[in-house]
Amino acid sequence: MDTLPVASGAAAEPLTPAQLRELYSLMVAVRHLDTSAIAWQRQGIIPGYAPELGQEAAQVGSGYAVDTTRDFVFPTYREMGVARTMGVDMVAYMSTHKATWHGGLYDPLESRLAPIQAVVAGSVLHAVGWAHGQTLAAGTAGPSTVNTAPADGKLGVALTYFGDGASSQGDVHEALNFAAVMKAPVVFFVQNNGWAISVPTERQVAGGSVAARAAGYGMPALQIDGDDVVAVVEATRRAFAHARAGNGPVLIEAMTYRRGPHSTSDDPGRYRSLDEERDGAGTDPLERFRQRLLADGIADEAFFAEALAAAKAEEEQIRTGIQALGSRPGTEMFDLVFQETTPALQAQAASWREESEHV
Ligand SMILES: Cc1ncc(C[n+]2csc(CCOP(=O)(O)OP(=O)(O)O)c2C)c(N)n1
Ligand SMILES: [Mg+2]
């Protein structure tokens, strides 16, 4: 499905060989960190993790289209590959999985990545709010606007992620409708990985397609091969160009497959067989891209080996950083709830202090 007008300008330019190699290096770094994070959990370094094995093309490809000088990304709990592609500090990112801090220790404003969101479909609402703020700031939303338009007239775009399962939450429909009515610059990026924990897409998405729903909101949509990193970059760039120019939101449904468990505490053997998994998964997106680069003469075995060595060195550095992370002061759980504290919160903080003094 492709109901988005044909792209022009930078959005339509093909990726250069250097960019293709960069995409491969990112995918290898993400694959290696992701599989290592599962091992860290088994070794007791972190208590839990949500793997993204098989979703590297969808995540790296979409994250690659972000302009971190003006866009903002609203992830779920499974977007490690997006964070890595955007250049977020990965020790700070992984701190959530060590249970050091809710949402990650990185600075959302500086990195342009909102805190990790564990509430299914929660990120879409924040994205629409932020995006509508962009419209107001640009002075294109009527007489209530107070700010001046950006010098080049191009809006910052919110890129928000959700899953096939999340698409059945009311929040998603409210967000889609509001974004379309307000013409907010949002790219809704759905990773349809076939599963919502133990529930397959056909038991979750009536009609079988999240992309098809966009029509009901008067919104253009793209349903793409989410395991083809080049297709993902191209689609996301087109969607960004459309939203940035003030034409409103776009929905992308990237068809992919969750090859591993939902999380490190999940056992997929209880709801799908290995045969089903093999059939559903298709060709590994990383291997697919490797074959393509080889066939097109863009990279060779030496390059692949170098990329893997870099990924291993990076993972070691991140693991060391995670292991060195101490705990945060307990009072922070009260300090950062509201900008201005409330009497009830102060009372809770006082009784917590009293109790912890005796421990
Ligand atoms: C509001 C809410 N309801 C339920 C849950 C429990 N939960 C966590 S992940 C998940 C499934 C989400 O599936 P999907 O949207 O397809 O994303 P995926 O995990 O496949 O990436 C559920 C039900 C939650 N975290 N938040
Ligand atoms: Mg899913």
- Chain segment 43-82, per-residue pLDDT in tens: 999 999 999 999 999 999 999 999 999 999 999 999 999 9
Query: What is the domain partition of the chain in residue ranges?
Result: 9-328, 329-359
Asked whether 157 and 185 are in contact (CB, 8 A), the reply is yes
**SS3 for the chain, per residue?**
CECCCCCCHHHHCCCCHHHHHHHHHHHHHHHHHHHHHHHHHHCCCCCCCCCCCCCHHHHHHHHCCCCCCCCEEECCCCCHHHHHHCCCCHHHHHCCCCCCCCCCCCCHHHHCECCCCCCCCHHHHHHHHHHHHHHHHHCCCCCCCCCCCCCCCCCCCEEEEEECCHHHCHHHHHHHHHHHHHCCCEEEEEEECCEECCEEHHHCCCCCCCHHHHHHHCCCEEEEECCCHHHHHHHHHHHHHHHHCCCCCEEEEEECCCCCCCCCCCCHHHCCCHHHHHHHHCCCHHHHHHHHHHHCCCCCHHHHHHHHHHHHHHHHHHHHHHHHCCCCCCCHHHHCCCCCCCHHHHHHHHHHHHHHHCC
User: Which of 244, 262, 290, 319 is an active site residue?
Assistant: 262
- Give the list of residues 6+ apart from residue 292 with CB closer than 8 angstroms, or none: 230
Architecture of domain 9-328: 3-Layer(aba) Sandwich (3.40)
Whether residue 271 lies in the annotated active site? yes
Whether residue 244 lies in the annotated active site? no
Pocket of ligand 1 (CB under 6 A): 78, 118-120, 162-166, 193, 195-197, 258, 262
Q: Residues for the chain: how many in total?
A: 359
Confidence of residue 323 (pLDDT cuts 50, 70, 90): very high
pLDDT for res 52:
97
One-letter amino acid identity for 185?
P
Nearest residue to 80 (alpha-carbon basis) of 104, 99, 101, 102: 104
Please tell me the distance between residue 166's alpha carbon and the centre of ligand 1 in angstroms: 6
pLDDT for res 273:
92
Mean pLDDT on 239-257? 96
Q: Torsion angle of alpha carbons 221, 225, 229, 233, nearest 10°? A: -10
Q: Considering the entire predicted model, what is its pTM?
A: 0.94
User: Which of 271, 272, 288, 292 is an active site residue?
Assistant: 271
Q: Which ligand does the CA of 79 lie closest to?
A: 1
**Which atom number of ligand 1 is nearest to the Cα of residue 201?**
16
Mean pLDDT on 28-50? 97
Q: What does the pLDDT look like over 120-179, one tens digit per residue? A: 999 999 999 999 999 998 875 544 444 445 667 788 999 999 999 999 999 999 999 999
Q: What does the pLDDT look like over 253-299, one tens digit per residue? A: 999 999 999 999 999 999 999 998 888 898 999 999 999 999 999 99
pLDDT for res 130:
96
Please tell me the distance between residue 167's alpha carbon and the centre of ligand 2 in angstroms: 9
pLDDT for res 149:
52
**Coil, strand, or helix at residue 325?**
coil
pLDDT higher than threshold 50 for residue 14: yes
Whether residue 262 lies in the annotated active site? yes
Asked whether 256 and 226 are in contact (CB, 8 A), the reply is yes
Q: What does the pLDDT look like over 197-239, one tens digit per residue? A: 999 999 999 999 999 999 999 999 999 999 999 999 999 999 9
**Which atom number of ligand 1 is nearest to the Cα of residue 263?**
19
Please tell me the distance between residue 90's alpha carbon and the centre of ligand 1 in angstroms: 23
pLDDT for res 150:
64
Residues with beta carbon < 5 A to ion ligand 2?
A: 163-165, 193, 196
Confidence of residue 359 (pLDDT cuts 50, 70, 90): low
Q: Which of 82, 102, 117, 120 to mutate to test the pocket of ligand 1 (most atoms within 8 A of CB)?
A: 120
Nearest residue to 261 (alpha-carbon basis) of 50, 47, 44, 58: 50
**Which atom number of ligand 1 is nearest to the Cα of residue 121?**
1
Mean pLDDT on 106-120? 96
Please tell me the distance between residue 265's alpha carbon and the centre of ligand 1 in angstroms: 14
Q: Which ligand does the CA of 78 lie closest to?
A: 1
